[in-house]
Every structure is written in structure tokens, then in C-alpha cells.
Amino acid sequence: MNLLDKLAQRCYIIGMIKIDKEIETMKNGTVRKFDYGTVNYEGKTYKMNQDAYPENYGTDGEIRYYATAIGPDGAEYNITWETTKGWDKANAEAKRVEELLAEQKLGYLNEAEETELATLLDSPNTSWLDDESNACDWDRPIDVQRIWEIEE
């Protein structure tokens, strides 16, 4: 490990709350167990240490979901999931509904747009957005990248 890697590792450790990867003892003595589940990728099991979150940085506007996990070797990894086609379609429809409602409020909708708005408001696709379990195929991440291993 070179000097820059050691410095980055020390900065990371200093900024962390002392967690033994499974439980955290709070200042008031409360013990909280972390259980975010596991995910398999290329025959290896990774133990999640946070809920997945959406982000569009570096994806040309597309959304991906990310989370960190501890790998079988004890190192920390970034896990990436791609959104499902149904989720993407529901998001596109919701965005279009927002646009049409804004135009409607200003009185700018023509008959075709009024029909489109009514159709979209009746669409069952937007109900997909009520449950984030629809966002990705959580059993099939698209990528796993090692962050680094914390020396003990």
C-alpha cells in the first residue's frame, strides 16, 4: 500500500463511527443491529451495510442505485443496480404528467394534450413509483467495485 492509500485509509477511519460491521453501540448504551441483507454477484456474497440510494452522477441523466457492502474478504465494496424498464417508464410518465399539469395550469393545453394527460393520469404505471422494490432487480446488481480494505 502506498503512502497516499495509507493516508486515505486513515482519513476514512477517523471519520467513521466505530462499527463492528454488525452492531453499533450508541452513546446512550442502545445497541442497534444492522441488517440490510445480502446480495450475490459472480458467485460471491456481499453483506449490505446500508440501504441502496438513487443517484444520477456520471450516468448521463439515467438513474442507478448504489449501496456499500462488506465482501467475503472483509473489504468494503460499492454495489450498483440498474433500474428496471417498468420503473424507467413510470418515471418518464410521471415527468410528462408534471409538464402537462404545469401547462394546463397556464391554460396552454390543446385537445390532444388534454387527452394525453387524462390517459397518463389513469395509467397503472405510475403506481410503480409507490414502491421502490420495483426500481431494480435487487437480486442482480450490474457491478461490484472494491473500495478498500480497512486494516485492523
Instruction: Give pLDDT, residue 14.
Output: 36
Instruction: Give pLDDT, residue 60.
Output: 72
Q: Supply 1's cell numbers.
A: 500500500
86: how many CB neighbours lie within 10 A of its CB? 12
Q: Which residue has the cell 433500474?
A: 83
Instruction: Give pLDDT, residue 91.
Output: 87
Q: ∠ at Cα 37 (86, 57), nearest 5°? A: 50
Instruction: Give pLDDT, residue 123.
Output: 81
Q: H helices of 1-152, where?
A: 3-15, 85-105, 111-122
- pLDDT tens, N- to C-terminus, the chain (152 residues): 444 444 444 434 433 433 444 444 545 555 555 678 999 999 999 999 899 999 886 667 788 999 999 999 888 999 999 999 998 988 889 899 999 999 999 999 999 999 999 998 888 777 778 888 889 999 999 999 999 755 55
Instruction: Give pLDDT, residue 9.
Output: 46
Q: Whole-model pTM?
A: 0.67
Q: Would you say 34 and 51 are in contact if contact means Cβ atoms under 8 Å apart?
A: no
Q: Which residues contact 6 (CB under 8 A, 6 or more apart)?
A: none
Phi (first) and psi of residue 144, to 5 degrees: -135, 125
Q: What are the CB-based long-range contacts (under 8 Å, 24+) for 119-128?
A: 120/93, 120/96, 121/97, 123/93, 125/86, 125/89, 125/90, 125/93, 126/90, 126/93, 126/94, 126/97, 127/90, 128/86, 128/87, 128/89, 128/90
Q: At what angle do helices 85-105 and 111-122 cross, to 10 degrees?
A: 140
Q: Supply 25's cell numbers.
A: 453501540
β-pairing, 143-148 vs 76-82, is antiparallel
Q: Structural domain boundaries of the chain?
A: 3-83+136-148, 86-128
